[in-house]
Amino acid sequence: MDWGMKNRFSRIIRPENERCVMLAVDHGYFLGPTEKLENPRETIQPLLKYADSLMLTRGVLRTSVIPESNTPIVLRVSGGSSIVGEDLSKETIVTSIEEALRLNASCLALSIFVGSKYEFQTLKNLSRLVNEGEKYGIPVLAVTAVGKEMTRDARYLGLACRVAAELGAHLVKTYYCEDFTKVVDGCPVPVIIAGGKKLEEKEALKLTFDAISNGASGVDMGRNIWQSENPVAMIKAVRAIVHDNHDVESAFQLYEENSRSNTSLKTARKKKATTIQN
């Protein structure tokens, strides 16, 4: 890796512990206004300072994040299909490398759909993006998207991650599964996990803990943070596992403590506002 590439990469995976907490808010690019992400600015703002990096599209970056923010950007540059369209795997590169540079992206993200109808096209997209990224020193995160018909097991996810790494991805995002160490061991670049559908907070923390204990370098998590009752408390608890080696119980305790203090803060603010009005 040259200097620029290393510098950008170290903004995504912290060099001191080789871990990362990436906050994913890119869901609208195919899902539209997802629950609790209807107004991205409102969702992102309180969480920004707790995220090591932010994964999103250029549209949400420009409209919903202040340019003075210091949080490194992972720019999703693949798209072109929606949940109501013909086939979700039919993606192309929708944002140019020049635009990514103008937006000061630290990393580019793109989905691959291994085993799908458009596998070839999405793998070609990845190869092209890696070539562009290498030219300008921007790392690429390959997102191993899983179609409904695919089994999320170590064999399939291991295959998808390895293919991504072989094509030059610098970092791979996948899903946690049984025998996850097989996925990590077969992939020569760091692997991070998506949170997936909203779970109970303790379950999501267990997922995080299991992934980290089995070799994941961190999380690229969305819904399990911002669809939580207490998103700030949740991201703090996820950080405690990823960066401070907390176990599930102590991270959940932290979540509950932070949720309580957040609730009392909100109540105090409401009381104050009512007193002022009266």
**Among all residues, which ones are annotated catalytic?**
173
Least CB distance to ligand 5RP at residue 55 (A): 6
Position 27 contacts ligand 5RP (CB under 6 A): yes
Asked if residues 168 and 134 have their Cβ atoms less than 8 Å apart, the reply is yes
User: Contact at 8 Å (CB) between 144 and 164?
Assistant: yes
Give the ranges where 19-136 is alpha helix by DSSP (H).
28-31, 40-44, 58-64, 97-102, 119-136
The residue (of 20 and 221) whose beta carbon lies closer to ligand 5RP is 221
Query: Smallest Cα–Cα separation from 124: which of 133, 135, 134, 113?
Result: 113
Q: Tell me: does residue 55 bind ligand 5RP (CB under 6 A).
A: yes
Tell me if 44 contacts ligand 5RP by CB under 6 A. no
Site membership for ligand 5RP, residue 220 (CB under 6 A): yes
Residue 218 found at the interface with ligand 5RP (CB under 6 A) = no
Strand pairing category for 140-144 and 191-194: unpaired
b/e burial code for range 141-164 (CB count within 10 A of at least 16 → b): bbbbbbeeebeeebebbbbbbbbb
Residue 12 tokens read as: 């995504």
The rounded distance, in Å, linking the Cα atoms of 118 and 124 is 10
Task: Spell out the residues 6+ positions from residue 160 whose beta carbon is closer than 8 angstroms to its own.
Answer: 112, 114, 115, 144, 146, 174
Select from 13-21, 157-165, 182-190, 192-200 the region that touches ligand 5RP (CB under 6 A).
Answer: 192-200
Q: Taking CB under 6 A as the criterion, which residues in 196-215 touch ligand 5RP?
A: 196
| Structure tokens, 22 | 């990436």
Number of CB atoms found within 10 A of residue 137's CB:
16
Which range binds ligand 5RP by CB under 6 A, 23-31, 176-184, 245-253, 254-262?
23-31
Q: How far apart are CA 232 and CA 194, in angstroms?
A: 18
Please give the Cα distance from 14 to 10 (Å, whole number). Answer: 6
- The interface with ligand 5RP within residues 155-184 (CB under 6 A) comprises none
Between 19 and 27, name the residue whose CB sits nearer to ligand 5RP. Answer: 27
40 binds ligand 5RP (CB under 6 A): no
- Binds ligand 5RP by CB under 6 A, chosen from 21, 61, 194, 237: 194
With CB under 6 A as the contact rule, the residue among 12, 21, 23, 24 that binds ligand 5RP is: 24
Judged by CB under 6 A, does residue 222 bind ligand 5RP? Answer: yes
143 binds ligand 5RP (CB under 6 A): yes
Nearest Cα neighbor of 224 from 248, 207, 211 is 207
Total residues at interface with ligand 5RP (CB under 6 A): 13
Task: State which of residues 26, 52, 91, 132 lies at the interface with ligand 5RP (CB under 6 A).
Answer: 26
Segment interacting with ligand 5RP (CB under 6 A) among 37-45, 132-140, 220-228, 238-246: 220-228
Which residues contribute to the site for ligand 5RP (CB under 6 A)?
Answer: 24, 26-27, 55, 143, 194-196, 220-224
